[in-house]
Amino acid sequence: MTRFPPLSRTRLVEILDKIKDVSVAVFGDLCIDIYWDVDMRMSELSRETPHFAMPVVGERISLGGGGNVAANLAALLPKQAYACGLIGDDWRGRELIALCKAADIDTSHIVCGMGLISNAFCKPMRRGISSTIYEDPRLDFANVVPYGQEIEGAMIKALDAVATKADVLCISDQLPTNVYGAVTPRVREHILKLAASGLTVVADSRDRIGEYKNVILKPNEVEGARAAGLPAAGNINEYAQAAAKLSAMQKCEVVMTIGADGSLYAFEGSVTHVPAFPVPGDIDICGAGDSFISGFSLAIAAGASRPEAAFFAGLCSGVTIQKIGATGTATAEEVLGWFDKCK
């Protein structure tokens, strides 16, 4: 295993500048994250039920899942960022479209299905007399009933259209197996055909990373080790073994994130360790993988080598994990600022 040295500032600026000429798309499970701030000091006992109400005093809505990948792509100011996926004709879908448009993300390739449910993760954040904030169990909106071949056909048509415009396609295959997301087996098969025809595809999947071939895989260490059939807990050398095995099994390039230790790039039997700068203090890893796949995909489309792109992506994640309580994004200015601080 070789070790990749940090990029120079000159090279980093060059990659950021070339990103401005890149068009990029994300396809997959577009979601919104909703935070409800609840102040229990204002609560009253219900007259109808033996429960205290949860008074919502604030609401924050942001892009999540594949939507957060799109937000991270757009934050680095490419020529154009496209979001492609599936929503329902409901208020959550309308919020998602509005958030995308506000971030200058093209939404013309998003399929809207009547009667379908737009993905949302709702998080009530409760507080009382003390300053402690308690997160209640999350409320999830998702499709639990199959939506049929007509919707699948519409998504495949949208994929074909966006593939003609994008230099690189990110896949966000994140929903669990008991719900019906955008990346069905039929849709995944079409994605692999697009990759085989020459489109650069970078795929991230929480549960199904082992079902992708001939693309660039972006698992984290747990997902990658599980797909390779190896223990999920280990050291860098063991994770390097998992990345190499996964690459050989799937005939794919693999860029595996390994938390604070950075990432591993594996292909054709060789593995390169790409360290990350340590982040002091409190961190919030929610959305770190979205930042990584976005930065990596834009960098390779801008001409960076795979290890260079992994280092750049690590900088993007390093920025966003410092944003507590939010699935944040990293701008070019923030990436440069974080690099300068660490160097």
Q: Looking at residue 285, what is its pLDDT?
A: 85
| Structure token pair of residue 7 | 């990029």
Helix (DSSP H) and strand (DSSP E) numbers for the chain: 10, 15
- In the numeric block, which tokens belong to residue 218? 């972006």
Is residue 60 within 8 A of residue 53, CB to CB? The reply is: no
Q: Using an 8 Å Cβ cutoff, are 247 and 254 in contact?
A: yes
Task: Give yes or no for residue 153 having a pLDDT over 90.
Answer: yes
- Mean pLDDT confidence for 15-38: 97
CB atoms within 10 A of CB 260: 13
pLDDT of residue 199: 97
pLDDT in the model for residue 42:
96
In DSSP notation, 246-314 reads HHHHHT-EEEEE-GGG-EEEEETTEEEEE------S----TTHHHHHHHHHHHHHHTT--HHHHHHHHH
pLDDT at 343 exceeding the cut of 90: no
What would the pLDDT profile of 227-277 be if each residue is shown by its tens digit?
999 987 789 999 999 999 999 999 999 999 999 999 999 999 999 999 999
pLDDT in tens, 30-57: 999 999 999 999 999 999 999 999 999 9
- Give the residue with greater pLDDT, 327 vs 13: 13
Confidence of residue 327 (pLDDT cuts 50, 70, 90): confident
Measured in whole angstroms, how far is the alpha carbon of residue 208 from the centre of its chain? Answer: 15
* Helix or strand (DSSP H, E) at 222: helix 221-228
pLDDT at 302 over 80: yes
Instruction: Return the closest-CA partner of residue 32 out of 58, 69, 61.
Output: 61
Report pLDDT for 143: 96
Burial class of residue 237 in the structure, from the number of CB atoms within 10 Å of its CB (0-12 exposed, 13-18 middle, 19+ buried): exposed
pLDDT band at 328 (very low <50, low <70, confident <90, very high): confident
- Give the residue from 64, 106, 65 showing the smallest Cα distance to 82: 106
Inter-residue contact 312 to 277 (CB < 8 Å) = no
The reported pTM is 0.95
Token pair in block for residue 50: 């033996």
Q: Kindly tell me if the per-residue pLDDT of 290 is higher than 90.
A: yes
